[in-house]
Structure 1
Amino acid sequence: MLLGSIELRDHDVTCAISDNQMNIKDKVDFPLNTPNETFRNIIKYFKNVPEVKAIGISSFGPLELRNYAPNYGYITDSSRPHWSNVNLLGTLKKYLKVPMSFTTDVNSTAYGEYIFSVLQNKPVMSLVYMTISKGVGAGIVNAGELVGYKGSPEIGHIYPKRHPKDQTFKGTCPYQGDCLEGLISESAFQARFNKSYKEISMFNPIWDIVAYYIAQSAIQSTLLIRPQKIIIGGDIINKIEIQKIKEQFQKLFNGYLSVGDNNNLNNYITTPSNSSTKLAIIGNTALAKKIYYSDANIYAK
């Protein structure tokens, strides 16, 4: 059986086809343009592969994920030009006529991590996947199921305790100011230094401050979810920063609970196992397979 994946990101779209073991058989990328042009490219791709039995869709948001809502399947109030109030799921179902799953981009990536662990015979049944770049997003899998009926958990908008050496920066979140996202996102670096995070030396004390804030989000996730693993990715995360986060976590948490396998912090807080694109394809196709077998009314070809 062949399964499809569609992922809409900030500037591009990835369509892919996998077998029922999540092995990727084909993949194509094209720019995110207007909805009409984007829909044409997606539909044309999958029309050429009629053997695809179900498709998983993930997208930037905000999305309406409540299946009882009148606008279920819509991209709602997007900041991206032309993409507000777009019936993403309904349009694709109309033309492709197969069962489809629908979730956020970070959810599909988190679910991909879960499925990849199962495929490797090292199942991680509960995980938190954080991504830190332009914003701060999170997907949570608990007991093999995504958490958050209305959408992805909004870890980026928790309020961390301010670092002693970072008391005056107001933050950049247009809603909350100094929430986690407002303190550590790419826009926060730009506001702090008037240049990109890429230009900031890893010896700069700001990276310890950022690690302090991220470690707090990892602690809150630990206390609320009790996951097997916390995975932190995104553009601003690298090997040096992940080590700083672990050091801050260990200092702040002070051994309150055993975490991970055998209380091994190196296995508990990690970077992603694969690229976000590959994980999203794995997650989307797994969700597509799940809805194919759970859908009581399999669509007629």
Structure 2
Amino acid sequence: MLGAIEAGGTKFVCAVSDEDLNIIERVSFPTTTPEETLEKVFHFFDTYEDLKAIGIGSFGPIDINKHSKKYGYVTSTPKLAWKNFDFLGEMKKHYPLPMGWTTDVNAACLGEYEVGSAANNDSCIYLTVGTGIGGGAIMNGRFVEGFGHPEMGHILVKPHQKDDFEGWCPYHRNCLEGLAAGPSVEKRYGIKAQEIDADHEIWQILAYYLAQALVDYTLILRPEKIILGGGVMSQIQMLDLVKKEFTTLLANYVEIPDIHSYIVRPSLGNNAGIMGGLLLARKSL
């Protein structure tokens, strides 16, 4: 039996499956303090005595460098209770099992790569656009990472000519997350993104920022597929707007697959992260 944790900044999702990735049980609960949250994690997994491995995809930044003294830690997160918390270490204290450890977006990327929208491709990028923006990439079956993991949501972008918003990211202001994540809409207008009409100009502005990032990722990594998930991308009009802006900005400089098969939605939907966690668990055996 395999276990998985999709550790998000807002909520945790835990699941167990058989070795063929058929989910047996799945639960979710709010992310509070490490102590309170892990107590619920342990309560869930303790009922499964034949658990063989656990895969964890965590919000970050996290330390993925196996040579680092802080490998397995959540590091410089704005969630202060989790800052410099030894997440993987606490899990291993409770369960002496093989464990896979990566970011939440890497886990979602793995799920889509293995059994989702990028199945049968050798490379892909997964970007989630919601409360924050984060991305993971896989090239030839391996995560793109080095000293640390990518922080795709914090690349700097050029302001839209109709947008005077300075950005809300406390580190960079006008990075992609600061200008295009869900909270940027509320901070501009004082209402939730889902309350704004589909034909409002903000969606074209957000698409412009996202397209800039996708052009950068395309030019640097040349993936076979880009998968866009998250709450902002659930707006029905967003995918077409992003494709249009991307096509304009790329200007046919490099060849890509057909745009409609190149920039797509996650076929696993909200299951991408937890499925990736189960795959991590299976790979760790």
Normalised by the length of structure 2, the TM-score is: 0.93
Equivalent residue number for residue 287 of structure 1: 280
Most deviating of 86-95 and 7-16: 7-16
Aligned equivalents of 1:197 and 1:11: distance in 2?
Answer: 17
Q: Is the 8 A contact 1:112 1:283 kept in 2?
A: yes
Aligned equivalents of 1:235 and 1:117: distance in 2?
Answer: 18
**Which of 202, 206, 212 does residue 208 from structure 2 map onto?**
212
Letter of the aligned partner of 1:105 in structure 2? Answer: D
Q: Percent identity?
A: 38
Q: Is the 8 A contact 1:58 1:284 kept in 2?
A: yes
Aligned equivalents of 1:209 and 1:14: distance in 2?
Answer: 32
Displacement of 1:81: 4.8
Number of residue pairs matched by the alignment: 284
Instruction: Spell out the pairing of 1:132-211 with structure 2 (5 A cutoff).
Output: 132-166=129-163, 168-211=164-207
Letter of the aligned partner of 1:15 in structure 2? Answer: C
Displacement of 1:256: 2.1
Instruction: Spell out the pairing of 1:54-65 with structure 2 (5 A cutoff).
Output: 54-65=53-64
Displacement of 1:198: 1.7
Equivalent residue number for residue 248 of structure 2: 251
Q: Deviations 1:116-152 (Å, cap 9, x if unpaired)?
A: 149x9x4122111111112211011111111123443
Equivalent residue number for residue 266 of structure 1: 260
The 3 A distance-change label for structure 1 pair 98 and 77 is same
Two-structure CA RMSD over aligned residues (Å): 1.9
Aligned equivalents of 2:157 and 2:10: distance in 1?
Answer: 30
Displacement of 1:100: 0.4
The 3 A distance-change label for structure 1 pair 288 and 243 is same
Displacement of 1:40: 2.6
Q: Deviations 1:205-259 (Å, cap 9, x if unpaired)?
A: 2211211111111111111111111111111112311101111111221222221
Q: Is the 8 A contact 1:138 1:152 kept in 2?
A: no
Q: Is the 8 A contact 2:13 2:27 kept in 1?
A: yes
Equivalent residue number for residue 94 of structure 1: 93
Q: Which runs of 5+ in 1 are unaligned?
A: 293-301
Q: Is the 8 A contact 2:7 2:57 kept in 1?
A: yes
Displacement of 1:97: 0.9
Q: Which runs of 5+ in 2 are unaligned?
A: none
Q: Deviations 1:268-297 (Å, cap 9, x if unpaired)?
A: 101111223x111211111111121xxxxx
The 3 A distance-change label for structure 1 pair 33 and 194 is closer
Normalised by the length of structure 1, the TM-score is: 0.88
Larger radius of gyration: 1
Displacement of 1:21: 2.4
Equivalent residue number for residue 115 of structure 1: 114
Q: Is the 8 A contact 1:43 1:96 kept in 2?
A: no
Runs of 4 or more, structure 1, over 4 Å off, are none
Displacement of 1:160: 2.0
Aligned equivalents of 2:81 and 2:162: distance in 1?
Answer: 42
Q: Is the 8 A contact 2:229 2:269 kept in 1?
A: no
Q: Is the 8 A contact 1:127 1:231 kept in 2?
A: yes
Aligned equivalents of 1:210 and 1:33: distance in 2?
Answer: 30
